[in-house]
Structure 1
């Protein structure tokens, strides 16, 4: 089959575990084009378990770890089946699935750096009858890289503006920026928390998975003492390449800094939003001072209070959305993992060493074959 006629599926559940984004993708002149997409909900009990593990609130024995890996794999398979059913696409038309999996630990530094995304890919291949490419980050970490971010190559492919420095800002559980420099260089890094801390605090105090439209934050006031304490975390001062996750910026981290501060839940939420906005703006000022515009993607684009605060802090830059350039901001990450799966099957690198700090380009991902009778 001509590669241009092949379809791929990309899957990702981010650090907030607010749903599995699934994208059906075709390629035109090597560029990914979104065909159909959906967000598949986690079962409530499974999402609760994922968040507890990712926030280091619970310890898993090997049996519990194995069961969680399989349960997540089945839910990812459910997401693929829902996507294909909704789009009217037979499994036989899909060349491969690229599954990011669910990150439960990301520790790319230290004596034995590692990153761990689970969601059993063999279960997915068996149930869907489609080859699955998974474990995209480990090869980059083994090569001395951060294993993240992996989206900048796709950002550059779809959103580069010749002669103009542009920043693509992904507002997931963690915020990351891609700098598309006017001279053609591409680099980027995780700036710190985006939605993850706000989501967790909202769930604790309101029983809601996220702060819809930023209303909870808007009902409070920024606590300057708390904000200064949060911004003093050493991560923000680290030079890139760098990456982080919920295993660092979690509720335990926040609670440890709240012990001597009296603030209402709404004021804490307002302060967390300000932390996200300030840390992002500072990172862009420090590493992309000549950026003319900033394009938003990720779930945070729907938090209008956060978007407005970013606009206020970056008045000298045009703030827009990837949607302005025909790229769906909700499914750009999932689309990127379809591209990464294709790169793996073509034997081509998926990382950018200038972004991750790896020793060189690496082919990313491990292939899990579907039963041949299913193809």
Structure 2
């Protein structure tokens, strides 16, 4: 049983890694600043971009980050018997922090070497690294909630070892309620359930965020015993409904030719919203339907490289996207429906090759391999 679960998780890592690149490939077709990626403001050039960004970035790919979170929790919670908080921290953080620091430095200094920003800006970025990710590596935001998840696992693990299915469902229900907070912030009030300028912690603060995905992962592993057919039916339904709503939400707000604040355009693209949660749950159930006893070698190889690929991919994706966009989001070198997956696929392939080459180096662990 355990081997079967590891097999489908190998597939999740590979697919989720590609979906991350599909997200960032799509951003090149609605970003309104010079970087090509979506910044504070966005603009869609035409109806084609509006539809295909909604489809690729919204309907298909928004599950990428939650899938990684669910996988981590699925494998690590509850902690192994006899493992202490400090031994858990040592093992997990020695795995992720060295490559995180290495790539923070690479994203700070390589752009300066290439003339993408000045050395003074690089030094300013270096000074801020203890406090946040490099301005040239926005995708590294993910590392901070992942670290947070690792920090809380030893705290919640003893409860999950003893909790009943009903108790976990109660917490998941509260978590589901918290996923409506981004919508309420956007359409009702920025100050919700106790929030104000002297208190940023809403009533549901401690039951919200990626902790909810952690408990969900444990509930799926321990308490869902549906047969393969039922998991497939429910998984497909949840993935379709959640994905369709996520894609529609962007299409609804994205009027071509109009500058719009990116948070308003992406009003339902946050990873802890009801629609993304529903789609993630559905996708994870579908992956559990994989019944192979052993994954193909190429899947396990890429899965092993996936963390490094995530860390490095913007080094490849940015120039590849620049080539395809060719300075004109409305008329890229090939139609946008083909350009977005081509950018993602070429970036993915470059990361696989680079990761494989790095794996032969003595210090490959410092690159996340």
TM-score by length of structure 1 reads 0.29
TM-score by length of structure 2 reads 0.29
Query: Whose helix fraction is larger, Structure 1's or Structure 2's?
Result: 2
